[in-house]
Amino acid sequence: MTLLIVALFYINSQKELQNLDKKLISKMNLCSFTLDCKEYKIDFVPKSKQPTFELYKNEKEIYSLYPVKEADDFFLKIYLDYNNYIKQMKAIYKELAFYFLITMIVVIILSILFSFYALNPLRQSLLLTREFIRDILHDFNTPMSTMCLNLSLLQQELGENRKIKRIERSVENILSLQDNLKHYLLNNIMTIEDIDLKKLIIDRVEMIEKNYLNLNYSIDISDSIFIKSNEKALIRIFDNLISNASKYNKEGGEVNISYIKESKSLKIADTGRGIANPNRVFERFYKEHIRGVGIGLHIVKKLCDELGIKISIQSKLNIGTTILLKF
């Protein structure tokens, strides 16, 4: 709208300048007959090849030439000082600028009102959708708790069972997705605390490795390494990364977690399938496999940014993926 209005006012300004020139030449023509010209000056100049009854401009004056009866060697010259012409131009520009400002104010006000009017239903729909998702996530707790309890009872009755393990893994995936969605929607304020990194990593690995008995896990982190961060956020970050390293690994593959003191970085390396486009994995809803919805790593990146953790990823197809978290 602004560009359109600027274009229209530019065209209008050119027309106004043309009208000014027409007005000047009309007055000069009238002056050539009556010689009653208060704002114009009159002079006689040697005859030249310049056409008469036309408007000419230079840095000193605006003038027109007229033939004189019974005078073959001179033209009547009616002219106006260039500074006077500039004043009239400025008056036109000033008036146009005033109307341009008024028009822009009106357009801005109408645009803002229209934007609120047009976007408000969309905003309300998004809020309702978010509330609906929150309610569903809350209602998940009862059936999921019932499933976990019954799975525990089944395991006591039947002992170790592969089908029960698969159901447990699916339930844990749903719970992980629920946690991710909760954080994505709620955006809770995080408190910073001292965290024993090795203990936290061991706890997370022990929970995840039960579902991937065909993988080998190794942890190389020295004792007494504490970092200042938010424990719940770190748990969500580590669970996503270690779970992905396990989920997309090969049969008999490895997940190696180590801490590099020199750079204060945690490295999570796997021998899995690799990622075709590692630069895109943090994009929302981007995924390279059928499993998942593509928000896990997006949430990881969001949490890392909130905690001031620099995350980088390197990957090669069919070789593995390495993720570096610099605290």
- Identify the pLDDT of residue 189: 62
- Burial label, 157 (beta-carbon count in 10 A; 0-12, 13-18, 19+): exposed
Both 216 and 321 in one domain: the answer is yes
198-232 pLDDT, tens per residue?
999 998 898 888 888 889 999 999 888 899 988 88
Whether residue 126 lies inside any domain: the answer is no
Q: What's the mean pLDDT when you consider all of the chain? A: 85
User: Are residues 197 and 305 both part of a single domain?
Assistant: yes
Name the percent of the chain lying above pLDDT 70: 94
pTM for this predicted structure: 0.52
The domain in which residue 199 lies consists of 191-326
Higher pLDDT, 140 or 205: 205
pLDDT digits (tens, 9 = 90+) for 179-204: 766 766 666 566 788 999 999 999 88
Which stretch of DSSP H or E encloses residue 145?
Answer: helix 82-158
pLDDT reported for residue 293: 64
CA distance 212 to 218: 14
Same domain, 322 and 203: yes
Q: In this structure, is residue 14 part of a structural domain?
A: yes
The per-residue pLDDT for 217 is 94
pLDDT for 168: 77
Return the SS3 of 219. Answer: strand
**Residue 282 · residue 309 · CB < 8 Å:** no
Tally of structural domains, the chain:
2
pLDDT, tens digit, 9 for 90 and up, residues 244-278 = 899 889 888 999 999 998 889 999 999 988 888 88
Burial of 66 (0-12, 13-18, 19+ CB in 10 A): middle
Is residue 59 classed exposed, middle or buried when 0-12, 13-18 and 19+ CB atoms within 10 A define those classes? exposed
pLDDT in tens, 150-170: 888 888 888 777 777 778 777
Position 241 confidence tier, pLDDT thresholds 50, 70, 90? very high
Alpha helices (runs of H) in 210-269, residue ranges in sequence order: 231-247
Question: Is 156 a member of any domain?
Answer: no
Q: For 193-221, give one letter per residue: b (16+ CB within 10 A) or e.
A: eebbbbebbeebbeebeebbeebebeeeb
- The neighbour count for residue 318, using CB atoms within 10 Å, is 9
Per-residue DSSP letter, 279: G
Pick 66 or 211 by higher pLDDT: 66
How confident is the model at residue 145, as a pLDDT? 79
Burial class, 275, CB count within 10 angstroms (exposed 0-12 / middle 13-18 / buried 19+): buried
The pairing of strands 226-229 and 254-260 is unpaired
d(CA 42, CA 44): 7
197 and 317 belong to one structural domain: yes
202 lies in some domain: yes
- Residue 186, domain member (yes or no): no
- Read off the tokens for 92: 């036109």
For residue 163, being part of any structural domain is answered with: no
Q: Which tens digits make up the pLDDT trace of 286-315?
A: 877 766 667 788 888 988 998 899 999 999
- Exposed / middle / buried, residue 62 (Cβ in 10 Å: 0-12, 13-18, 19+): buried
Q: Indicate which CATH number applies to the domain containing 318.
A: 3.30.565.10
Tokens of 271: 């021998």
Last residue of a domain, one of 59, 87, 104: 104
Edge-first strand order for the sheet with 320-326 is 216-220, 254-260, 265-270, 320-326, 310-316
One-character DSSP codes across 109-124: HHHHHHHHHHHHHHHH
In a domain, 297, yes or no: yes
As to burial, measured by CB atoms within 10 angstroms (0-12 exposed, 13-18 middle, 19+ buried), residue 39 is exposed
Give the total residue count for the chain.
327
DSSP 36-79: --SSSEEEEEE--SSPSS-EEE-SSEEEEEEEETTEEEEEEEEE
Phi, psi for 196 (deg, rounded to 5): -80, 105
DSSP state of 223: T
Classify residue 274: in a domain, yes or no.
Answer: yes
Contact residues for 13 (Cβ-Cβ < 8 A; gap 6+): 92, 93, 96
Domain end among 85, 104, 123: 104
